[in-house]
Amino acid sequence: MRRLLQRTPIYGAYKALGHYPDYWYWILRGRPSRSPHLLKQKVVREYGERFGLRILVETGTYYGEMVAAMRTRFDQIYSIEFVTALAERATRKFSRDAQIRIFCGDSRVVMPDVLALLNGPALFWLDAGYYGWVGVRSNEQRLSAELEMILSHSYPHMILLDDARGLTGKDGIPSVEDVRAYVESKFPERSVEVKYDIMRITFRK
């Protein structure tokens, strides 16, 4: 049944219906490490407001749930999806939203194009699951390459990295401490913390 629904235009809305029970179940279980999507939306919204950011850049569009939730919260949204079918689906879904652009391809290739479009600081919502943390060795350098591009850019961007638990330090995948050491040594003005499975890269106070 679920596979059939995934092929329909309403699957994104169907998935969104499950966010509320998932959130309350997460609270009842004592807030375990895997954070529910509603919490992720709350964090993205809060960081945008806290730092006055009006541009959102996402890697891993999937079914467009975060884009849909943030469509009225940001002036511009750019989302990168590697899977062609999902990118095409999201493009159709948001075709009437002029402020939303969906890109298809490897984010290491597409990210420079997105960065060139930015006219101010942005909030980056990156998906650790998108970086091959399940053990795809060809993607080992994806995260460090993207972090360097973003943090070296001319605007003071903020970064949120979802599914930080995927940074296991195994099979060539960096650990959370590896990423922290890399960022804080190469960009000493930055600080890295992890809370509710989301890595937050901001400026030191």
pLDDT in tens, 173-204: 788 999 999 999 999 999 999 999 999 999 99
Statement: residue 85 has pLDDT above 60: yes
More confident residue, 58 or 143: 58
In 73-154, which ranges are E strands?
A: 76-81, 100-104, 123-127
Angle at 84 between CA 149 and CA 173, to 5 degrees: 45
- Which fold does the domain 2-203 belong to in CATH? Rossmann fold (3.40.50)
End-to-end CA distance of the chain: 50
Domain ranges of the chain: 2-203
Label the pairing between strands 55-59 and 76-81: parallel
pLDDT at 133: 36
Residue type, position 128, single letter: A
Average pLDDT over residues 62-83: 94
Statement: residue 102 has pLDDT above 50: yes
Statement: residue 95 has pLDDT above 50: yes
Closest CA to 168 of 135, 201, 126: 135
Rounded Cα–Cα distance for residues 111 and 122 (Å): 13
Q: Name residues whose C-beta falls within 8 Å of residue 126's C-beta, 6 or more positions apart in sequence.
A: 58, 59, 60, 143, 146, 159, 160, 161, 162
Residue type, position 46, single letter: E
Q: How confident is the model at residue 51 (pLDDT cuts 50, 70, 90)?
A: very high
Statement: residue 136 has pLDDT above 90: no
